[in-house]
Amino acid sequence: MFLKRLKALSRSLAFRLTLWYAGIFALSSCLAFVFFYYVIIDVLREQTDEDLRRQLSAFSGIMQVEGITGVQQIAAMDALSGGDQKRLIRLLSRFGTEFTAAGTDYWQNVGVNAEAIRSLLTNGRPVIETVVLPERRDSLRIIYGIIGPGVIMQLGRSLAGEIRLINVFQRLFLTTLGLIFLLAAIIGWFLARRALSGVGGIAAAARKISAGDLESRAPVSGRQDEIDQLAGTLNHMLDRIQTLIRGISEMSDNIAHDLKSPVTRIRGLAEITLTTAQSDDDYENMAASTIEECDRLLEMINAMLFISRAEVGVREVRPETVALKALVGDAVLLFETTAADKQLRLCFEAVTDARVKGDPRMLQRMVANLLDNAIRYTPPGGQIEVTVDTVVDSGARIEFRDTGIGIAAEDQERIFERFYRCDPSRTESGSGLGLSLARAVARAHGGDISVESTPGKGSTFSVILPAGPASP
């Protein structure tokens, strides 16, 4: 259980970020310490060498004034006084023969480096070397120099003090590094948890949504950071999806309702005819009604297919140049009798003979649907005006203005959805497909339809189509 948790934790982004953060922090501190370490070692060595050179020149001065006996006396005194530096002094001939030595009791194993003497005699410059004595945990820095004619001095001093300093520095460095790593891990963990806290909220919301709670939303902290933006975008997307799902479910309800009614009527009629029919006329009537209902069903199915085709795009069909004045004028003529039957005044005016590129059959169907709606939703005595003109920068415009029942503001965008009808009781005949078909055709031609309406006063549907070639 614990191991499982540990495994999950090691896979978490917060853990990995913390590790990176602490690692980078520790690495940079390490680099800084290593740099200081080498600088300190360099400075200490430089100081020791300088000290040895100074002492060598002091002995050289004594040699000049007091001769070799003076040097021997000082060397003996130095060996007796000992001190922290534990000096080693040897006076040698140019062939390496020892005149005098001091401090050899302490530095028993340290001999004379013949190579160093050779180099000194060749170059004439003092030679400095380090002799490491691991068994003593000590090192000796030795200088070989000429202090008088034919007299070479081997002068060494212990590096114990420097080694102690460096050891202290190393211990300090390791402790500080450990503390820095720990501190960086704590700070890193805190920062990573804080930065990723929103992600946990989003994941929890996503889990709830996939479990079926479509109302759930990702929490927005208000910090306006990237996580907040992500949560906001996700919530916006979820709102859209929920609206779409609601729309689809409403649409399927409507489809079911609209397809069910004719089928129920056909079935009812068949049942009644079977049980009560007395003559062939009754069967003929039933057949006629069945054909009528089937036609209605077919009409709906065809309309749906037509919309799908139009949505695929008019580019599928070879476009022709269509003169809107003639096309709309013909449709108005066709509907004149229906309008007159309902005591409606139907007027048509073409301000310009606008031309568009498109499919004339599709456009005819769009115009017919809009005209049919205007007539159906305008009570007797009303008026319908149809105009064709051109709008600068937009293209051709066909307007259908009626003095009908109007459309409520909340219905105005939804009437273009498939099967949507403002009257929920569906008392008026219709499929709820006319406007979605009209919009699909307009959009397939690169245009669109909009509506302006005041309930009780009337509606205006405007179709905008991109202008085609200029009129001849």
- Positions touching ligand ADP (CB under 6 A) are 369, 373-374, 377, 402, 404-407, 415, 420-423, 430-436, 459
Q: What is the CA radius of gyration of the chain?
A: 52
Minimum distance from residue 425 beta carbon to ligand ADP (Å): 11
Q: Which is nearer to ligand ADP, 276 or 427 (CB)?
A: 427
CA 23 to chain centre: 25
Q: Which is nearer to ligand ADP, 324 or 433 (CB)?
A: 433
Minimum distance from residue 343 beta carbon to ligand ADP (Å): 17
Strand stretches in 6-137, DSSP E:
88-92, 98-102, 127-133
Closest C-alpha to 61, from 74, 51, 50, 48: 74
Q: Residue 157 in contact with residue 87, Cβ under 8 Å?
A: yes
Minimum distance from residue 372 beta carbon to ligand ADP (Å): 8
Q: Which is nearer to ligand ADP, 49 or 385 (CB)?
A: 385
Q: Which is nearer to ligand ADP, 387 or 390 (CB)?
A: 387
CA-CA distance, 431 to 413, in Å (whole number)?
17
Q: How many CB atoms lie within 10 A of CB 163?
A: 14
Q: Residue 99 in contact with residue 151, Cβ under 8 Å?
A: yes
Minimum distance from residue 316 beta carbon to ligand ADP (Å): 23
Minimum distance from residue 418 beta carbon to ligand ADP (Å): 8
Q: Give every CB contact of residue 423 below 8 A, 6+ residues apart in sequence.
A: none
Q: Which is nearer to ligand ADP, 386 or 405 (CB)?
A: 405
Q: Which is nearer to ligand ADP, 192 or 375 (CB)?
A: 375
Minimum distance from residue 395 beta carbon to ligand ADP (Å): 23
In what helix (H) or strand (E) does residue 358 lie, and over which residues does it extend?
Answer: strand 355-358
Where do we find the tokens 């001849």? 472
Closest C-alpha to 358, from 317, 303, 306: 317
